[in-house]
Amino acid sequence: MQAFWACLCLQSASFFDGIAGFSFAHRAQGSAVLQEGPPARRALEEERKGEFTMKKRIAIALVLLLALAATACAEPATRVFTDSVGREVVVDQEITRVAISGPLAQIVVFALAPDKLVGISSEWDASAEALLDTTYYQLPVLGQFYGGKGEMNLEELLKAAPQVVIDVGQPKGDIAADLDALSEQTGIPFVHISAYTESMDETYTMLGELLGMQEEAAVLADYCESVYARTLALSQRVEKVNLLYITGEKGLNVIARGSYHSEVIDLLSNNLAVLESPSSKGLGNEVDMEQILAWNPDVILFSTESIYETVGDDPLWQDITAIKNGTYYEVPVGPYNWMGFPPSVQRLLGMMWMGKLLYPEQADYDLYEEVVQYFELFYHCELSREQYDALVAHSIGR
């Protein structure tokens, strides 16, 4: 960009210097003619009319030449961005049009730059319609790159014409090669920014650098760091409860300790689901009823679309301490599962909810006020008390 303006200025200087020289010479000529009398003055006036017309034509031609020179001098305004897997990616200096690779990235990027999104990876949960501005709710669906129910629609992606596609989350094994291949195939830069619960502040710092939104990103980064630090301190001063997070329509899947999805669960509880090969899939590991009875948790968190509504009347579950004591709950959802499905920044909501649910005396904050602040920062909406109560209706005990 600097080279462009330097070139344009040089061209403009030459032009105006020429005009100035032309005017000075003719002013001198006019002074001499005025001393020779009226006939000479009339001749000079006629000459000047012709010269004025010629000067107009020259000026127009020079303006056109300057425009062509500006085009010739302009250099692509780009920079090199190093992503989380060490790839040096050439991106535009100013980015105003962004696509995302999946729902995890959708949640993270939406918080910082909703107006830069040219599409979403998957449709919002139905609850989003009452929460989000319709402009965001009705963005075109472009699909997702990793996992999920639909592949990225490259035709729709190209039609949306983003300047960059952002992938956020845990880096997969071949991610560098995958993103390089997509960049080559589409001509659009793909970048990866890693995201983990304990370092979401770093995620937003890097995202702010990419999008030229450092100040806005710093607000979100500071918030993430603050919530995590408070939750970590809480986890270190309580006696952790024995807990299972159960998923699946039959209630026979668990989120195992040490998996990517269990970060918040492991932080705030004694996650009883210790398995040899923790699954990174959303439903977690499949187990049998005998194993759940053997674990016998004091508290159970059920994902939505599991068996929360029916488990209290199911004879198979009546000997489990959590069911006998009524200490089982359904995870809040809206517009995404608060415990991280997908495992994105909304896990901060899960931290605050889980901390207050399990350790109400030690968690010295007002959950409603905290959730309102989160929705304002990350979903750009005002959450009413009525909406909040609906979100946590099954999540704070019977």
Q: How confident is the model at residue 28 (pLDDT cuts 50, 70, 90)?
A: very low
**Is 238-391 the same fold as 78-213?**
yes
Average pLDDT of the chain, as a whole number: 85
In angstroms, the first-to-last Cα distance of the chain is: 63
- Mean pLDDT across the stretch 370-376? 97
Q: How confident is the model at residue 185 (pLDDT cuts 50, 70, 90)?
A: very high
What's the pLDDT score for residue 27?
A: 45
DSSP letter string over 310-365?
A: HHTT-GGGTTSHHHHHT-EEEPPBSSSBTTTBS-STTHHHHHHHHHHHH-TTT--S
Higher pLDDT, 327 or 16: 327
Distance of CA 235 to the CA centre of its chain: 28
Element (H, E) at 286: strand 285-286
- Mean pLDDT across the stretch 372-396? 94
Whether the per-residue pLDDT at 59 is higher than 80: the answer is: no
Residue 75: exposure state from Cβ atoms within 10 A (0-12, 13-18, ≥19): exposed
What's the pLDDT score for residue 151?
A: 81
Q: How confident is the model at residue 82 (pLDDT cuts 50, 70, 90)?
A: very high
Residue linked to tokens 């040490």: 258
- Mean pLDDT across the stretch 2-14? 44
- Mean pLDDT across the stretch 28-40? 48
CATH of 78-213, one of 3.40.50.1980, 3.40.718.10, 1.10.340.30, 3.40.50.620: 3.40.50.1980
Q: How confident is the model at residue 53 (pLDDT cuts 50, 70, 90)?
A: low
Q: What is the pLDDT of residues 289-302, one digit of tens each?
A: 999 999 999 999 99
Whether the per-residue pLDDT at 44 is higher than 80: the answer is: no
Q: Judge whether 326 and 355 are in contact, CB under 8 Å.
A: no
What's the pLDDT score for residue 23?
A: 44
pTM, rounded to two decimals: 0.79
Q: What is the pLDDT of residues 272-282, one digit of tens each?
A: 999 999 998 88
β-pair type (164-169, 190-194): parallel
- Mean pLDDT across the stretch 15-27? 43
Q: Please state, in angstroms and rounded to a whole number, the distance separating the CA atoms of residues 388 and 302.
A: 19
Q: What is the pLDDT of residues 230-288, one digit of tens each?
A: 999 999 999 999 999 999 999 999 999 999 899 999 999 999 999 999 998 889 999 99
Q: Judge whether 395 and 332 are in contact, CB under 8 Å.
A: yes
Whether the per-residue pLDDT at 175 is higher than 80: the answer is: yes
Query: Phi and psi dihedrals of 161, rounded to 5?
Result: 55, 55
What ranges do the domains of the chain cover? 2-73, 78-213, 238-391
Q: Judge whether 344 and 352 are in contact, CB under 8 Å.
A: no
Please enumerate, as own/partner, the contacts of 18-25 that have beta carbons within 8 Å and a separation of 24 or more.
19/55, 19/59, 22/55
What's the pLDDT score for residue 16?
A: 40
Q: How confident is the model at residue 123 (pLDDT cuts 50, 70, 90)?
A: confident
**For residue 350, how many other CB atoms are within 10 A of its CB?**
25
Q: In what order do the strands lie in the sheet with 190-194?
A: 98-100, 164-169, 190-194
CA-derived radius of gyration, the chain: 32
Cα-based distances in Å from 51 to 26, 47, 58, 109, 387: 10, 6, 10, 60, 76
Cα-based distances in Å from 160 to 106, 140, 223, 261: 16, 9, 32, 32
- Mean pLDDT across the stretch 382-393? 94
Percent of the chain with pLDDT over 70: 79
Whether the per-residue pLDDT at 11 is higher than 50: the answer is: no
What's the pLDDT score for residue 132?
A: 86
- Mean pLDDT across the stretch 5-29? 43
Higher pLDDT, 208 or 260: 208
Whether the per-residue pLDDT at 114 is higher than 50: the answer is: yes
Cα-based distances in Å from 131 to 13, 134, 214, 329: 55, 9, 26, 24
Q: Please state, in angstroms and rounded to a whole number, the distance separating the CA atoms of residues 133 and 130.
A: 8
β-pair type (242-247, 270-271): parallel
Q: Where are the alpha helices (DSSP H) in the chain?
A: 2-34, 38-73, 103-112, 134-137, 154-160, 175-186, 200-211, 214-236, 263-268, 289-295, 308-311, 321-325, 347-358, 367-378, 385-391
Q: How confident is the model at residue 148 (pLDDT cuts 50, 70, 90)?
A: low
- Mean pLDDT across the stretch 193-221? 97
Whether the per-residue pLDDT at 32 is higher than 80: the answer is: no
- Mean pLDDT across the stretch 157-169? 96
Q: Judge whether 242 and 298 are in contact, CB under 8 Å.
A: yes
DSSP label of 380? -
What's the pLDDT score for residue 378?
A: 96
The candidate with the shortest Cα–Cα distance to 247, out of 341, 170, 334, is: 341
CATH number of 238-391: 3.40.50.1980
